[in-house]
């Protein structure tokens, strides 16, 4: 047998076949996606998103109830941002290890470990009654979780040049589904003894008011674990070859040229412009996105007179969940056609440009609320922000295509995605804490009327848009 890998349509594709060639997609009939395999992968991504987002509607309320701020509501942002950042800090330390490990032992085992760690940490989070207990549970999630990089690698291996835009368009959709249900679960199931007194009675629910949303997410993670264990196939080329050993020609497999092209490359070989430029753009997108996500519930929950809107957790969950619904539908419909028509670079730049109005709207919205209360203009502003966020989110699908294209070969796809995810996790470590701390500092010291944090983020958005010029016009792999 040669060193070629089987494509989704059954044809043989050499390992040096382009991973991406968006410019030729319109000339080929798209290969059908392997529905079961992609569905299981997307289910794992839904759980990943859900576990990240479900704490957002109530995290500020939880910090207040822990009484670590001394009753000063302006300090809530510091501690809420720290809890949100710890997941990414520990993930940054381990994600590259897990991604490189997946290049050696396969994607499936690493994915199973990550899902198991996620379910464990959810139970720990729900049973935590101290700040350090919450912090430890988030660290467990991050340390055992190398899923994001592995999922991106698997999607790259499940698709070819004709359907990769379609495949990566489904990833934001799956993330959005989790982003929809995560805040809804967190916002509606916290303090169940208050919301559902006839069902959840007893001292346990009073002692652990945030256990129910954590347990629900953990149960979903266990279901996902079983689906991966029973039905997901290995996608890594060498592992897939070993599983089909009865059809292997040993002489061809041992050929030197096949061993070289099938082997993972060293980390040093990834530090080249073709890899680093997409990674740098991904890092800029990641820090702006996580800063916006961290500020959003804080802006919603902060009293109007202090610069927010004064929403309760249920309302916060509704607005954050609405994004997931709208984003999931529109991404599926418009992402692939936009990429085919305008290319990944223009689509990516459109997404980055959306950050400029997104960071301009909160001060305007708060000013309206100060003048008129929660007026219909406030809801118009929030709806406009929702639409802009959907357009912004398309940038993730584009940059994932560039990162997949940058891999030297398919056996190094895990390391390439791991490097990108590690970089994103590093900036996401500082993003929530830095943005929420700047929010709190701006309010405490009345910097630019309390809105200085948005000026800083606007400046970073412009820088990111300039950096995107360095990306190639199309996401092609020609080796």
pLDDT at 43: 92
Helix ranges, 232-306 (H): 237-243, 250-253, 256-262, 273-301
Q: How far apart are CA 298 and CA 316, in angstroms?
A: 10
- Percent of the chain whose pLDDT exceeds 90: 17
The confidence score (pLDDT) of residue 237 equals 64
Greater model confidence, 45 or 313: 45
Kindly state the tokens that stand for 442. Answer: 């701006």
Contacts of 448 (CB under 8 A, 6+ apart): 442, 455
Task: Decide: 87 and 433 in contact? Cβ < 8 Å.
Answer: no
DSSP state letters, 397-435: HHHHHHHHHH-SSGGGHHHHHHHHHHHHHHHHHHHHHHH
Q: What mean pLDDT, rounded, does the chain reach?
A: 79
The 3-state secondary structure of 157-172 reads HHCCCCCHHHHHHHHH
The H-or-E segment that residue 6 falls in is: strand 5-6
Give the CA radius of gyration of the chain: 23
DSSP 468: G
In 3-state terms the chain splits into helix, strand, coil percentages (rounded to 5) of 80, 0, 20
Contacts of residue 465, Cβ cutoff 8 Å, sequence gap at least 6: 349, 352, 353, 356
Q: Which of 115-119, 193-197, 210-214, 221-225 has the lowest mean pLDDT?
A: 193-197
Cα–Cα dist 216/201, whole Å: 18
% of the chain at pLDDT higher than 70: 84
Give 280's contacts (C-beta < 8 A, 6+ positions apart).
Answer: 423, 467, 470
Nearest alpha-carbon partner for 232 in 4, 42, 410, 414: 42
Whole-angstrom Cα distance, residue 444 to residue 222? 43
In our burial notation (b when 16+ CB lie closer than 10 A, e otherwise), range 452-472 reads bbbbbbbebbeebbebbeebe
Is the alpha carbon torsion for 82, 423, 119, 300 positive or negative? positive
CATH topology of domain 33-235: Growth Hormone; Chain: A; (1.20.1250)
347-386: buried (b, 16+ CB within 10 Å) or exposed (e) per residue? bbbbbbbbbeebbbbbbebbebbeeeeeeeebeebbeebb
pLDDT band at residue 344 under the 50/70/90 scheme: confident
* Whole-angstrom distance, CA of residue 431 vs CA of residue 442: 16
Cα–Cα distance measured from residue 167 to residue 160, given in angstroms and rounded to the nearest whole number: 9
CA distance 193 to 203: 9
* HEC string for 282-302: HHHHHHHHHHHHHHHHHHHHC
How far apart, in whole angstroms, are the C-alpha atoms of residue 178 and residue 51? 8
What whole-number distance in Å separates Cα of residue 399 and Cα of residue 389?
16
- Angle, CA of 94, 99 and 104, to the nearest 5°: 125
Could you read off the pLDDT of 270-302 as tens digits, one per residue?
888 888 999 999 999 999 998 888 888 888 888
How far is Cα 466 from Cα 475, in angstroms, rounded to an integer?
A: 18
Which of 47-61, 155-169, 185-199, 276-290 bottoms out in mean pLDDT, i.e. has the lowest? Answer: 155-169
pLDDT at position 73, please?
67
- Which one, of 117, 119, 93, 109, lies nearest residue 150 by Cα? 109
Q: Which DSSP symbol is given to 268?
A: G
Q: Domain 272-478: what homologous superfamily?
A: MFS general substrate transporter like domains (1.20.1250.20)
Range(s) within the chain of domains with CATH label 1.20.1250.20: 33-235, 272-478
Backbone dihedral angles phi then psi of residue 309, each to the nearest 5 degrees: -125, -10
Q: Are 298 and 60 in contact (CB under 8 A)?
A: yes
Give the integer Cα–Cα distance in Å for 5 and 410. Answer: 10
- Indicate the range of 114-118, 340-344, 373-377, 381-385 predicted with least confidence: 373-377
Lowest mean pLDDT among 248-252, 280-284, 430-434, 444-448: 248-252
């Amino acid at each position: 047998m040669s060193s070629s890998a089987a494509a989704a349509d059954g044809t043989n594709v050499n390992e040096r076949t382009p991973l991406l060639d968006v410019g030729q997609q319109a000339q080929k009939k798209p290969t059908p996606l392997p529905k079961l395999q992609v569905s299981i992968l997307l289910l794992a991504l839904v759980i990943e998103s859900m576990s990240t987002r479900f704490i957002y509607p109530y995290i500020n309320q939880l910090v207040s109830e822990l009484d670590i701020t001394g009753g000063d509501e302006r300090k809530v942002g510091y501690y809420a941002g720290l809890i949100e950042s710890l997941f990414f800090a520990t993930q940054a330390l381990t994600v590259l290890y897990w991604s490189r490990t997946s290049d050696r032992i396969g994607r499936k085992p690493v994915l199973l470990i990550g899902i198991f760690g996620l379910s464990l940490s959810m139970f720990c989070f729900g049973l935590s009654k101290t700040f350090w207990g919450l912090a430890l549970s988030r660290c467990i999630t991050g340390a055992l979780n190398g899923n994001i990089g592995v999922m991106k690698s698997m999607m790259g291996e499940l698709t070819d040049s004709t359907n990769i835009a379609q495949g990566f368009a489904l990833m934001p959709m799956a993330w959005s589904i989790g982003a929809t249900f995560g805040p809804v679960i967190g916002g509606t199931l916290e303090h169940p003894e208050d919301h559902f007194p006839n069902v959840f009675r007893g001292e346990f629910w009073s002692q652990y008011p945030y256990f129910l949303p954590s347990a629900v997410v953990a149960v979903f993670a266990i279901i996902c674990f079983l689906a991966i264990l029973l039905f997901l196939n290995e996608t890594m080329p060498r592992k897939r070859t070993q599983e089909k050993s009865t059809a292997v020609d040993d002489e061809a497999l041992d050929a030197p040229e096949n061993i070289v092209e099938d082997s993972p490359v060293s980390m040093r070989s990834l530090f080249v412009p073709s890899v680093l430029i997409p990674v740098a753009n991904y890092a800029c997108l990641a820090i702006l996105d996580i800063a916006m996500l961290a500020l959003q519930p804080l802006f919603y929950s902060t009293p109007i007179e202090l610069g927010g809107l004064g929403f309760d957790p249920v309302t916060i969950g509704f607005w954050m969940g609405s994004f997931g619904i709208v984003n999931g539908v529109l991404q599926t419909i418009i992402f692939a056609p936009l990429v085919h028509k305008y290319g990944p670079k223009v689509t990516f730049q459109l997404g980055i440009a959306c950050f400029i109005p997104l960071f301009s709207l909160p001060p305007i919205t708060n000013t309206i609320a100060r003048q008129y209360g929660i007026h219909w203009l406030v809801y118009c502003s929030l709806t406009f922000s929702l639409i802009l966020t959907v357009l912004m989110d398309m940038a993730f699908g584009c940059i994932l295509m560039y990162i997949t294209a940058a891999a030297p070969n398919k056996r190094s796809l895990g390391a390439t995605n791991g490097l990108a995810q590690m970089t994103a996790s590093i900036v996401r470590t500082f993003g929530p804490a830095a943005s929420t701390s700047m929010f709190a500092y701006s309010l405490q010291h009345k910097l630019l009327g309390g809105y200085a944090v948005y000026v800083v983020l606007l400046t970073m958005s412009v820088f990111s848009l300039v950096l995107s010029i360095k990306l190639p016009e199309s996401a092609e792999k020609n080796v």
